[in-house]
Amino acid sequence: MKTVRKAVIPAAGLGTRFLPATKAMPKEMLPIVDKPTIQYIVEEAVQSGIEDIIIVTGRSKGAIEDHFDKNFELECNLLEKQKMDLYEMVEDITRMVEIHYIRQKEALGLGHAVWCARKFIGSEPFAVLLGDMIIDSPVPCLKQMMDVYGERQSSLISVEQVPWEDVHQYGVIRSDPITDRLSLIESLVEKPKHNPPSNLAIVGRYILEPEILDILETLEPGIGGEIQLTDALRELARRQAVYGYRYEGTLYDVGSKLGFLKATVEFALRREEIRGGFHSYLRDLQESPLFERMTVRG
């Protein structure tokens, strides 16, 4: 019985959709309220039972490593001032899981980023979690998938139904249903411009058999001149069973400005210490002349 112990988090993208904020700061470090987006992803992996994580970074991504490393000056300052709750929070970040790093030297696509982690992966099944997709659910999305993997022992991709007009923004699958949530994938298409096979979009969580690394090794560049993970998955689905899994939870695409704002507002409303004041602000804003002017202008 194979188990999933390792996870890859690709974090080498340039973050062009958030320029100029991401000119000097990694997009993965943009905070949702007061927590960097990548920490939500790492926490999901840890809560799912992952033991080792490798983050694939690029140039100017040192802040990610610093965030998960110890900061002696900060910790000493918090201890001296007896701010024990903040001290414990900072300490928890550094000891939550074993994190490794490797640099993707060229921006050659998601498939290439996964391939960069091949020595870390070895011959084991592994998870991939994209850093710009936060999935909120009572049972972590990856844990749901790991439970299914325990039964099926085959590669698994998280999918979600999206509006047909948005299908061209995603990789999508064609599949045969097995249950309400599980289907056997026949093929995959990356960002189809015409005649998409379905509106089941791939949304940033994967459990993959190591054979995909051999496919990525020789895969030709696809859309955008990049090594596309979706293209490798299409080939893998020809060789062995690959499943699509409709997870339970709410997706926040924090790689887009609108998704980032939605996540910020909704996560803030869940925080007990600011919920009341923030809710009152939103209510007052909706009733203010400023909101009316913005609505008319929009």
Alpha-carbon distance 160 to 186, whole Å?
A: 16
With a cut of 90, say whether residue 257 has pLDDT above it: yes
Closest to 48 in 3D by CA, of 243, 206, 260, 266: 206
Please give the full DSSP string across 137-167, using - where no structure is assigned. Answer: -SS-HHHHHHHHHHHH-SEEEEEEE--GGGG
Convert the pLDDT of each residue in 222-233 to its tens digit: 877 888 898 999
Residue 285's pLDDT is: 86
Residue 160, CB half-sphere, CA atoms under 13 Å: how many? 19
Domains in the chain: boundaries: 6-255, 256-298
**Are residues 251 and 135 in contact, defined by beta-carbon separation less than 8 angstroms?**
yes
State which fold the 6-255 domain adopts. Spore Coat Polysaccharide Biosynthesis Protein SpsA; Chain A (3.90.550)
**Close Cβ partners of 165 (under 8 Å, ≥ 6 residues apart):** none
pLDDT tens, residue by residue, 88-128: 999 999 888 889 999 998 888 999 999 999 999 999 999 99
pLDDT digits (tens, 9 = 90+) for 188-224: 888 888 888 888 999 999 999 999 999 999 998 887 7
Collapsed DSSP state (helix, strand, coil) of residue 88: helix
What's the pLDDT score for residue 186?
Answer: 92
Q: What mean pLDDT value characterizes the chain?
A: 91
Is the pTM value of this prediction over 0.85?
Answer: yes
pLDDT at 105: 86
**One-letter amino acid identity for 276?**
G
Across residues 70-82, what is the average pLDDT?
92
β-pairing, 242-246 vs 126-129, is unpaired
273-278 mean pLDDT = 93
- What 8-state DSSP symbol labels residue 285? H
Positions of E strands within the chain: 6-10, 31-32, 35-36, 52-57, 98-103, 126-129, 133-136, 155-161, 171-177, 182-190, 200-208, 242-246, 250-253
Question: What is the band of 294 on the pLDDT scale with cuts at 50, 70, 90?
Answer: low
